[in-house]
Amino acid sequence: MLRLGRHTFADDATLMMAIVNRTPDSFYDRGATWAEEKALERVAQVVEQGAEIVDIGGIKAAPGAVIDVAEEKTRVVDFVARVRSAYPGVVISVDTWRAEVGRAVCEAGADLLNDAWGGHDPGLAEVAAEFDVALVCTHTGGATPRTRPHRVAYDDVVADAIAHTVGEAERAVGLGVARESLLIDPAHDFGKNTLHSLELTRRLDEMTATGWPVLVSLSNKDFVGESLDLPVGERLTGTLAATAVAAWHGARIFRVHEVVETRQVVDMVATIRGDLAPARLVRGLA
């Protein structure tokens, strides 16, 4: 069983985590959901499309204007409360690396803390334990939040990602986070060049073999763009190909911009794997 705050899911369930940015400057939507009402419309849309999780973020990942704790809280805390009351059936994740923000959003009703910067603030796991919410343990190679990789090197990026994320998950268990509420994420492009992200995709089965549920965040990222030499806005096909490989290797949660397309790919792969029966069967069997 996977337990994300108030919500539980079967061990073989795959989940769509839809990105909802409360930012004026995120790379893909460029502020399309910066206004609170626009962000709420985005939530309505992805819930209608079947997303099980919304991942609300108040700070873009790339370098830019400094967003302090107070500003981050202004962007996300009340919004979490609004989503909680309007959509009690959806899992609310918040993308933050700060324990102080984590605490505020948990009080507002968050179910999951998506620590996209790899445990930079060790207090975040303590907040997850205190509020009995779920936690994503990511690998950034020790990168400082909101920095780009520059000449990063690993002996073995997959081994490093596994060692770090599993170590963080075990540390979280030690702090009191429920074992069934922990996810690990290799964090494509975070502290990694494109070859690192490709290798993590190719060898994702090693990560799923740890037994911890694996979250992947592939959507429209630079490793897709560089692989195909395509700009943001033309990366959906490449994203879906990477999604298919990750799903084949057993990834469970998919952090996405495009819910409908990703759900189709993930269900198709699960059907090919034999984990999911076809939706309907008639051909040759009537």
Partner 1 sequence: MRLSASVASVVVVPAAPLLLPEHAGRADVVPGLRAAVRRALEGLHDVAVLAEPAWGEPVAAHLLRDIGLLEAPLGEAGALLVAGDGSARRGEKAPGHLDERAAPYDAVVEEALREGDAVTLASLDLDLGAELLAAGAPVLRALGDAVLASGRAVQTADLAYADDPFGVRYWVARWDLA
On whether the CB atoms of residues 221 and 197 are closer than 8 A, the answer is yes
Minimum gap (Å) between residue 283 Cβ and partner 1:
9
**Binding flag, residue 64, partner 1 (CB under 8 A):** no
Closer to partner 1 at the Cβ: 151 or 280? 280
User: Is residue 181 exposed (0-12), middle (13-18) or buried (19+ Cβ within 10 Å)?
Assistant: buried
Q: Is 28 helix (H, G, I), strand (E, B) or coil?
A: coil
> Does the annotation count 255 as an active-site position?
yes
Minimum gap (Å) between residue 260 Cβ and partner 1:
18
Q: Active site residue: 42, 60, 75, 255, which one?
A: 255
Minimum gap (Å) between residue 276 Cβ and partner 1:
7
- Binders of partner 1 among 125-184, rule CB under 8 A? none
Residue 201 makes CB contacts below 8 A (sequence gap 6+) with 188, 218, 223, 242, 245, 246
Closer to partner 1 at the Cβ: 67 or 276? 276
Phi, psi (rounded to 5 degrees) for 219? -60, 110
Minimum gap (Å) between residue 143 Cβ and partner 1:
42
Q: Is 118 left (phi over 0), alpha (psi -120 to 50) or beta?
A: left
Closer to partner 1 at the Cβ: 174 or 278? 278
- Over the window 242 to 281, marking each residue x when it contacts partner 1 by CB under 8 A and - when it does not, the resulting string is ----------------------------------xxxxxx
Minimum gap (Å) between residue 271 Cβ and partner 1:
10
Q: Active site residue: 221, 235, 252, 263, which one?
A: 221
On whether the CB atoms of residues 118 and 190 are closer than 8 A, the answer is yes
**Tell me, what DSSP letter sits at residue 153?**
-
Please tell me the count of residues contacting partner 1 according to CB under 8 A: 10
User: Is residue 32 exposed (0-12), middle (13-18) or buried (19+ Cβ within 10 Å)?
Assistant: middle
If one counts every other C-beta atom within 10 angstroms of the C-beta of residue 201, the result is: 22
> Does the annotation count 221 as an active-site position?
yes
Residue 170 makes CB contacts below 8 A (sequence gap 6+) with none
Closer to partner 1 at the Cβ: 10 or 277? 277
Binding site for partner 1 (CB under 8 A): 276-282, 284-286
Could you give the residue numbers annotated as active site?
A: 221, 255
